[in-house]
Amino acid sequence: MDPVSQCCRVFLFLGTENLQMKRVKCFVDGFNLYHAIADLKINHLKWLDLHKLTQAFIKPTQEVLDAVFYFSAYPTWLEGSYRRHQVYVKALEAMGVTAIIGHFKEKQKRCLKCGAQWCSHEEKQSDVNFAIHLLHQAHMDGFDKAFLITADSDLCPVIDLVLDTFPEKELVILTPPDRYQIAREIRSKVTTIKIKQKHLAVSILPENVYSNTGQLICTRPVEYNQKLK
C-alpha cells in the first residue's frame, strides 16, 4: 500500500473512533419530580415531555439519548389525579418513554393524642423499581452515562453500588426544581445539575399526542392548561 493510502486509512480509523457517541439513559423518579413541579404552582408544566427535558442536558456531538424510564404509581383513590396520571403515562409512552408503575398501599394511622384514626397511603415499589432497573441496565452494559432525575437520598445505596461495581459508568443527578439544597446526600456522590423552571417551560408535550400512524392517543387534561394555577 502506498504511503498516501495508508495515511488516509489511519485518518478514517481515528475519525470513526472519535465519532463514537456515548449511550445515555435517563431514569426519572416520577413523584419526586411531580411534587417539585406542583410546588411551582404552574399547572401546565406538569404536562412535561421527559425526552425533550433530558435532551436539554445531552451533549449533541458526543452523546445520544438511548432511553427514558419513568417510575411512578397511580393514586387510585383520587379520581381526578388517577385519571390525569393515566393520560400522562399514555402520552409519555407514545413519546417512547418506558413507564414502570408501582402501587400505593393503605396504611392505618392513629393520633397518639386524641386517638383519631384514618387511612393513609404509602407509595410502594417505585424506589425499588428505579434501583433494580438502574443496576440491571448497568450490568447489561446498557449505557455509558445515566441521568438520574431525583433528589431522594433513598437511592444513595444503588448509586454507590453502581459506581463501585461499574466504575466506567458515568452517573449524573438532575435535581428537580428547587430541590438542589435538600439533595445534599445524593449530590455528594456524583456530578449534579439543577433542572430549572426554564428547562421545563421549553419541554412541554403537545396538546394532542398522536401515534406514528396519526391516531390520536390522548389530549392534555384541561387542568394542565396554561391559564390555570
Side-chain half-sphere CA neighbours of 155 within 13 A: 35
Total-model pTM: 0.84
Which pLDDT band, with edges at 50, 70 and 90, does 76 fall under?
A: confident
82, pLDDT greater than 50: yes
In contact, 149 and 98? CB cutoff 8 Å: no
Fold of 27-103+114-224: Rossmann fold (3.40.50)
Domains of the chain, by residue range, sit at: 27-103+114-224
Q: Which H or E element spans position 18?
A: helix 3-18
- Tell me how far apart the terminal alpha carbons of the chain are, to the nearest angstrom: 71
* Section 95-121 average pLDDT: 71
158, pLDDT greater than 50: yes
